[in-house]
A and B are shown apart, each in its own frame.
Chain A
Amino acid sequence: MSQHLSSQEISQWMIGERTPQQEQHVRQCSQCGAELDRLEAALALFRGSVRHWSGRQGRAEPPAIASMSPARGSRIQPMRWALVAAALLVLAAVPIYRNAQDRQRQAEIARADALLLEQVDAEVSRAVPRPMEPLVKLVSWDFTSTDERDENRRDTTRNEEIR
């Protein structure tokens, strides 16, 4: 292989895909060797700078286990449970409130019905319809029974004798 590595072949080389011919060429060609060295050096610098930056952070060291999960989990879990409980309470309270309202409404309707029935009973049990009552007073109909009339008459006679 006498040709220099193409741009694609250089990238493939860095991935690890290389043929024996390419390896032989790179060993002999200072230009291709320098190009690969330059790229490898840039990537090594990048690796070093990431590690350096990471190492400078306070969090680069493993945290204490106690400060990790359970603390955070225990803060979050009760909050979640409280939210779930609140949601359940709301869901349960709505039907109960509605039931109470319905019951109150039904009781009012029942009271109104009872009142109406009483009025109807009162109307039905009248001897004379309400519009005719003034006439009854004028005529002064005697609705008393025969026995009562006899007794009334006897009372009148007794009163006259006494006088």
Chain B
Amino acid sequence: MATPGIMIAAVERCASEIDDLDTLVRLHWPRVFRFALASLRDPDAAGSVAQDCFLKAYRSRERFRGECSTEAWLMRIAVNLIRDYARNRRLQFWKRAQTSAVDLDAAGQWVPDGGASPESGAMAKEQLAAVWNAAGGLSERQRTVFLLRFVEDMDLLEIAAATGMKEGTVKVHLFRALQAVRERIGRSQ
């Protein structure tokens, strides 16, 4: 168990990290941008959301009390911004989908070069496309916890802190998301 001294030092470290916007952006931008991109599937929108996320974090740094990690706090802001963005831009979804369709296709077809046979490569591409499609069909909350768990490698407690959900609720959403993904992968075979 962490002693009060260690906890205070951790909070002070987080606070000083947040006070320095340059360091904050340098350390966490790739992750925030990636999460926004995977959620919105629109590079422009993801860039705007990531930028707004850091601005909001910096402006409200006084309210950060260190009850979670800087990363979880940033992700929480990003989750809220992505949700607001998706709600506000629902009508523009198809326009966005058209502009990013080429990129998204490329992402869904991407398979690392590992000297695999053409057959296994084709199967991997099918599975990957199935996961992309399944993730696109998930509800907003399911997709958020799915991306935080399986793209950002966050554990359940970190996801709970980032989404504001209870750990049990995170589990339920994650379970449903996995069921949907597995069903889709099963259909693709």
Contact of B131 among A10, A16, A43, A53 (CB under 8 A): A43
Contact assessment for A39 and B182 in the assembled complex, using a CB-CB cutoff below 8 Å = yes
Chain A CB within 10 Å — which of B26, B33, B132 has the most? Answer: B33
Contact assessment for A46 and B132 in the assembled complex, using a CB-CB cutoff below 8 Å = yes
**A46-68: which have CB < 8 Å to B?**
46-54, 57, 59-63, 65, 68
CB closest chain-B residue, reference A69: B55
For A57, list chain B residues within 8 Å (CB): 33, 37, 43, 46-47
Q: Is the interface of A mostly helix, strand, loop or mixed?
A: helix
Q: Tell me whether A59 and B33 are in contact in the complex, defined as CB-CB below 8 angstroms, given that A7-B179, A42-B185 are known contacts.
A: yes
Closest Cβ of chain A to B171, distance in Å, is 6
For B130, list chain A residues within 8 Å (CB): 42
What band does the interface of chain B fall in when counting residues whose beta carbon is under 8 Å from A? 35 or more
Contact assessment for A60 and B127 in the assembled complex, using a CB-CB cutoff below 8 Å = no
Determine if B161 is an interface residue (Cβ-Cβ < 8 Å).
Answer: no
What's the Cα separation between A65 and B111 when bound, in Å? Answer: 34
**B139-167: which have CB < 8 Å to A?**
147, 149-151, 153, 155-156
Determine if A148 is an interface residue (Cβ-Cβ < 8 Å).
Answer: no
For A99, list chain B residues within 8 Å (CB): none
Contact of A68 among B25, B110, B128, B155 (CB under 8 A): B25
23 contacts between A and B (CB under 8 A): A7-B179, A11-B178, A14-B178, A17-B171, A38-B127, A41-B127, A42-B130, A42-B185, A45-B131, A49-B111, A49-B128, A49-B132, A50-B38, A52-B110, A53-B110, A54-B34, A54-B38, A59-B33, A60-B30, A60-B33, A69-B55, A72-B51, A73-B55
Residues of chain A having any CB pair with chain B under 8 Å: 7-8, 10-12, 14-17, 38-39, 41-43, 45-54, 57, 59-63, 65, 68-69, 72-73
